[in-house]
Amino acid sequence: MSAEPTPAAALHGAAREAPCDDAADGRLTIAGEVLASRLFLGTGGAPSMQALDRAIAASGASIVTVALRRVDPSQRHSVLDVVRRHPVRLLPNTAGCFTARDAVLTAQLGREALGTSWVKVEVIGDERTLLPDPVELLDAAEQLVADGFVVLAYTSDDPILARRLEQAGCAAVMPLGSPIGSGLGIRNPHNIAMIVEGASVPVVLDAGIGTASDAALALELGCDAVLVASAITRAQDPEQMARAMALAVEAGEAARRAGRIPRRFHAEASSSFAGLADLSAVSEE
């Protein structure tokens, strides 16, 4: 098995250590399930069900998330009809919940509606920031784990909270790069690298991705996967952006495994100075 860069190495370029990866063949595994892609897709924000359908196909995503909302009798085509055409795992979320109680009940309804015990637990503090409420989140995660759920926790980029969620039994932690839908990318790469360093469950960068390079950076920092919603669904061409994200995730993962060079203040020539010709003009005497 080849040595792999540590998260610190991924951030700064440094010495290498033993791998901290999942499946022996290098594929992502969550709760014992091998996932074919490190790109997860959120379904919110697409201009149409047709656009979403094409974006899912182009993304090659292994996991697709949905929210739970009141049945709309006027709605002809459900997002489920679209998602079920693709070989993906459906992941219900608890988006819109402000309390642990609501998140737990929503998760239970998702399990009942969709026949899966996997849940992306999300408990937000307010509508303006949509940032996680850490107290309610941890409470919800503990209750859901006790209730037999496979819990993937949407969390802030706080390494200590990520650790507490892992200790609570979460199957994956999903730190944000920046606020949901902001497209601001990864505002604190150092924290993400620290979360990766401390985690022994998969780390999925969730929220804030704006474009493909943000997704590549997440993987370069050592994240095991990224979840992208708005950056794809609200792109001018969602299908093309889905393809770009798939390539970015693949490139970022390959780059992480390859091990980046250290950052340097000054230049270091890649062409050796040894054997350099003396091309100074012959003195004209």
Residues taking part in catalysis: 120
Based on the shown chain and the rule CB under 8 A, indicate whether residue 151 belongs to the binding site for another protein.
no
Based on the shown chain and the rule CB under 8 A, indicate whether residue 156 belongs to the binding site for another protein.
no
Based on the shown chain and the rule CB under 8 A, indicate whether residue 3 belongs to the binding site for another protein.
no
Binding mask 215-234 for another protein (x = CB under 8 A): ------------x-xx----
Based on the shown chain and the rule CB under 8 A, indicate whether residue 88 belongs to the binding site for another protein.
no
Bridging pattern class, strands 225-228 and 28-30: unpaired
Based on the shown chain and the rule CB under 8 A, indicate whether residue 105 belongs to the binding site for another protein.
yes
Q: In what order do the strands lie in the sheet with 172-175?
A: 118-121, 150-155, 172-175
Q: What φ, ψ does residue 170 adopt, rounded to 5°?
A: -65, 145
Q: Which of 3, 50, 78, 160 binds another protein (CB under 8 A)?
A: 78
Based on the shown chain and the rule CB under 8 A, indicate whether residue 42 belongs to the binding site for another protein.
yes
Based on the shown chain and the rule CB under 8 A, indicate whether residue 99 belongs to the binding site for another protein.
no
Based on the shown chain and the rule CB under 8 A, indicate whether residue 68 belongs to the binding site for another protein.
yes
Shortest CB 269 distance to another protein, Å: 46
Nearest residue to 131 via CA among 172, 175, 168, 76: 175
Shortest CB 260 distance to another protein, Å: 30
Count how many Cα atoms sit within 13 Å of the Cα of residue 149 in the half-sphere of its side chain: 32
Q: Which of 32, 73, 148, 275 binds another protein (CB under 8 A)?
A: 73
Bridging pattern class, strands 39-42 and 89-92: unpaired
Q: Which of 3, 18, 34, 109 binds another protein (CB under 8 A)?
A: 109
Report in angstroms the alpha-carbon separations of 96 from 7, 19, 46, 253: 32, 37, 18, 32
Of the pair 69, 128, the CB lying nearest another protein is at 69
Of the pair 227, 242, the CB lying nearest another protein is at 227
Q: Which of 79, 97, 223, 235 binds another protein (CB under 8 A)?
A: 79
Based on the shown chain and the rule CB under 8 A, indicate whether residue 44 belongs to the binding site for another protein.
yes
Cβ proximity of 157 and 191 under 8 Å:
yes
Rounded-to-integer distance, Cα 198 and Cα 69, Å: 35
Based on the shown chain and the rule CB under 8 A, indicate whether residue 67 belongs to the binding site for another protein.
yes
Based on the shown chain and the rule CB under 8 A, indicate whether residue 33 belongs to the binding site for another protein.
no
Residue 95 has what DSSP assignment? T
Based on the shown chain and the rule CB under 8 A, indicate whether residue 152 belongs to the binding site for another protein.
no
28-32: long-range contacts at Cβ-Cβ below 8 A with a sequence spacing of 24 or more?
28/62, 28/202, 28/224, 28/225, 29/202, 30/150, 30/152, 30/171, 30/172, 30/201, 30/202, 31/118, 31/150, 31/171
Based on the shown chain and the rule CB under 8 A, indicate whether residue 90 belongs to the binding site for another protein.
yes
Residue ranges in 173-192 that form contacts with another protein under rule CB under 8 A: 180
Based on the shown chain and the rule CB under 8 A, indicate whether residue 66 belongs to the binding site for another protein.
yes
Cβ proximity of 54 and 238 under 8 Å:
yes
Cβ proximity of 201 and 173 under 8 Å:
yes
Helix 159-167 and helix 134-146, axial crossing angle in degrees, nearest 10: 20
Residues that bind another protein (CB under 8 A): 42-46, 52, 65-71, 73, 78-80, 83, 90, 92-93, 95, 105-106, 108-114, 180, 207, 227, 229-230
